[in-house]
Each structure stands twice: as structure tokens, then as C-alpha cells.
Amino acid sequence: MNLFKSTLIATALVAAGFAGTANAATATGNFQAKIVITESCTFSTAGASDVDFLSKARSSAGDVDATGTLVVTCTSGTPYTIALNAGSYGGATVTTRRMHNGTGVGVSVPYTLYRNTGRTQNWGNTAGTDTVAGTGNGNAQNVSVYGRVLSADTNVPAGTYADTITATINY
């Protein structure tokens, strides 16, 4: 009887093993993970600074130079150019911008903005001619703006003079 019990148990175990694998099946399917990355450029106010000529005695000798900073963030590998308009004062051009004192009497202080420290390359708004070019690296990049007021142009009534420049990134 031991042989009979052993055979019966072995047969039951084999049958149970076949029953478990006979009902198992698999199927596969595919799908995609997708994203569209677009180019992007922005100006940031964090770390940016105005071109502030501070103060100067009326008609005193010596030109007044100042430097400001634009902060640009563009996606990595994105080429860009930065253009500056003529400002908000009527009659100004990108070669001779004008700060005004808000009195409406036509008094202004002419100044120029440049792309280089030597202040020899005007900064305007004609792509490929007088704009600043760069390539984004995904991080904030500082771009300097160099300004100059000629001493002869400060013989105006005392007061606070200002202008608003619009910077545009083309990418």
C-alpha cells in the first residue's frame, strides 16, 4: 500500500502542476513616451540693473559713463538677438536717445547706449547690424549695456531726467 499511496500522491502533484501552467497566458503591447521641447527666452528682473548715470554738476567737464545689466534666460542651444528701441522721448533715435525731465518744455539730455565697453558700437534694433547676439545655455546670462552722456549735453536745467528703453529678444 505504500507504493499505491506514493503513486497516487505523485500523480496528484503532476496533475496540479499541469493545471497551473495550462491556464497561464501573456500578451504584450507598446506605447510611446513623448514631449515637444520648444525654444524659450525671457528677461528677468533678478540681477538686472538700470543704466544709472547718477548725478553730475551742470555743465561740468567730463563725459558720464554708466553700465547696466540685462538678464536673459534662453533654452540651451537657442540662438537669440537683443534689440533696444529708441526710447520713449519723441524725436529720439537709436543713435541719440533722450532723457527728459517730464516738464513738457522740450528739455532733454541726449545719451547713447553701446554694446561694448569701449563705447564704440551703438546698440539699436536692426538685426545683424547693431543688436547683441548670443546663444542660450539654459541659465540666466548677464548682458551688459554701456551708456554715455557727453559733458556738453549736461548744460540743462537742474532736475531728474529719465527715459524708458524697451529691450526685445528675438529667437
pLDDT tens track, the chain, 171 positions: 554 455 545 455 455 555 555 678 999 999 999 999 899 999 999 999 999 999 998 878 889 999 999 999 999 999 999 999 999 998 899 999 999 987 766 789 999 999 999 999 999 999 999 999 999 999 999 999 999 999 888 888 888 999 999 999 999
Say what the pTM is: 0.79
Give which of 131, 134, 139, 57 is closest to 94, Cα–Cα: 131
* 3-class DSSP state of 145: strand
Confirm if 152 and 111 have CB atoms less than 8 A apart. no
What does the pLDDT read at residue 22? 60
Alpha-carbon span 169 to 58, nearest angstrom: 36
- Amino acid identity, residue 111? Y
What does the pLDDT read at residue 23? 77
* Radius of gyration of the chain measured on its C-alpha atoms: 36
The CA distances from residue 47 to 72, 87, 142, 166, in Å, are 10, 22, 8, 17
- Rounded to the nearest 10 degrees, how much is the dihedral formed by the CA atoms of 113, 117, 118, 123? -30
